[in-house]
Structure 1
Amino acid sequence: MTCQPSSLTTFSDGLWDAVAPTYQEILRHPFITGLVDGTLPREAFRHFVVQDSHYLRDYARALAVCAARAPDEEVTRAFAGDAVGAIAAEREMHAAFMADLGGSAEEAAAQPVGPTTRAYTSYVLATVYGGSFLDGLAAVLPCYWIYARVGADLLARSSPDPLYRRWIAAYGNEEFQETVRRVVALADRLGAEATEGQRARAAEHFRATARYEWMFWDAAWRRESWPL
């Protein structure tokens, strides 16, 4: 699928249309439905929190690279702030979740990085370092955008479990939604300036990391570990 900007369709419209089936599968995944109805096993959520702590450390590095390669100072400041925010989330929110789950941030840090987490972060880091700025932006965008969509959807439905309600509120709140709108608008601006080939390459990175988002939740649901 070629994502061409036009008077009727923006670059981001094409990106989202391409991953809409993946997003629907995310909403139907038992990890997500379990958050909403409160049936998600605590061990699955604990696995998610541990792996998300690992993920966010590398994701923050990827955002810092985006900041360094940004086309202007405003975008540099924005991505640098997002990188700091990712580290803050890893240190504060996840530490609080681990405490509620009877563990600690130190315990989470000592757990091995899982196969899906390693694959996802390696792909993102390789893309932000080795591709164009638009490639890197497309690779980091699903983590922003899919979490915002999932958060908004789950916020409307809430959860009977107070722990899961806190997680939902973190991504469904308006402050996070505004951050995501800013990044999507940047993708539209740069997509409009890019060639058809550049847009197509960026779209492929976007589709790949959107799939990794589904895989990340699935790995938590299965409590994935290395086979050997």
Structure 2
Amino acid sequence: MTSEVTLSSSAPASGHATGRPPLSREMWDGIAPIYSAILDHPFITGLVDGSLPRDAFRHFVVQDSHYLRDYARALAVCAARAPSDDGVRAFASDAVGAIAAEQEMHAAFMEGLGGTAEQAAALPVGPTTRAYTSYLLATVYGGSFLDGLAAVLPCYWIYARVGEALLERSSPDPLYQRWISVYGDEAFQGVVRRVVALADQAGEEATDAQRAQAREHFTTTSRYEWMFWDAAWRRESWPV
């Protein structure tokens, strides 16, 4: 893939003037076991071979609709705190895009599952969804721009990598293939490359301690990504 920022586990070859590697490389290398576990999760493998139960996919779509509403808010905060005009435009645009995805893509998926977007919105927010979005919002509001960027980045980057990997395998199920196509699409890959580049730019100005904190946020929300798919697989609900 020819671009200034790669989506593979190897980040851009150029590093910081002080000799530090790009922050994106450090972050991605740090979650290699998490990403491997995501690809091996039965929810993901079930998308590819078509064996994923419809109820599990329905749970995912419903919770993703809830998630994207708060994710859009997190992106809006990142836009407000971005130090450059490029960052403001990027995150503001993506915040709008997250709402559009909720309204359009999820409505289409719910229709394919025999339901409606209104029915999905009426269902409760699950435990993992609540925990994930609470962490995101706490980080973007309470931390620095780099903290917030690191926290929102896995939702971009992991979905792009998963979509890219699954696109090569396809799916015999038309509904699941539609989902794979959305995130494997080159347009989405380009959006992610742009955000990864913003992370590297912010990382160049950060101290080692600030970069370490950003990596911790990135790792935490990467774990939440695995947990989100696992919650859908288990059809997670509140225990009491």
TM class by smaller structure: over 0.9
**Alpha-carbon distance in structure 1 between the residues aligned to 2:29 and 2:215:** 11
Q: CA deviation at 1:9?
A: 2.6
Please point out which of 167, 181, 185 is paired with 1:169. Answer: 181
Match of 1:88 in 2: 100
Q: Does 1:106 align with 2:106?
A: no
1:210 alignment partner AA: S
Give the TM-score normalised by the residue count of structure 2: 0.92
**Alpha-carbon distance in structure 2 between the residues aligned to 1:159 and 1:80:** 33
In the TM superposition, what are the counterparts of 1:129-208 in structure 2 within 5 Å? 129-208=141-220
**Alpha-carbon distance in structure 2 between the residues aligned to 1:177 and 1:64:** 21
2:159 alignment partner AA: Y
Q: Does 1:126 align with 2:138?
A: yes
**Alpha-carbon distance in structure 1 between the residues aligned to 2:39 and 2:235:** 19
Please point out which of 212, 216, 225 is paired with 1:213. Answer: 225
Q: CA deviation at 1:77?
A: 1.0
Give the TM-score normalised by the residue count of structure 1: 0.97
2:194 alignment partner AA: R
Unpaired runs of 5+ in structure 2?
Answer: 1-14
Match of 1:9 in 2: 21
Aligned residue pairs total 225
Unpaired runs of 5+ in structure 1?
Answer: none
1:118 alignment partner AA: R
Q: CA deviation at 1:73?
A: 1.8
**Alpha-carbon distance in structure 1 between the residues aligned to 2:34 and 2:171:** 23
Greater helix proportion: 1
Q: Does 1:36 align with 2:48?
A: yes
**Alpha-carbon distance in structure 1 between the residues aligned to 2:20 and 2:184:** 28
Q: CA deviation at 1:8?
A: 7.3
Q: Secondary structure at the match of 1:160?
A: coil
2:201 alignment partner AA: R
Q: CA deviation at 1:75?
A: 1.1
**Alpha-carbon distance in structure 2 between the residues aligned to 1:8 and 1:67:** 26
Q: Secondary structure at the match of 2:31?
A: helix
1:165 alignment partner AA: Q
Q: CA deviation at 1:72?
A: 1.6
Aligned alpha-carbon RMSD (Å)? 1.1
1:184 alignment partner AA: V
The share of aligned pairs that are identical, in percent, is 76
Match of 1:57 in 2: 69
**Alpha-carbon distance in structure 2 between the residues aligned to 1:151 and 1:73:** 29
1:204 alignment partner AA: E
Match of 2:4 in 1: none
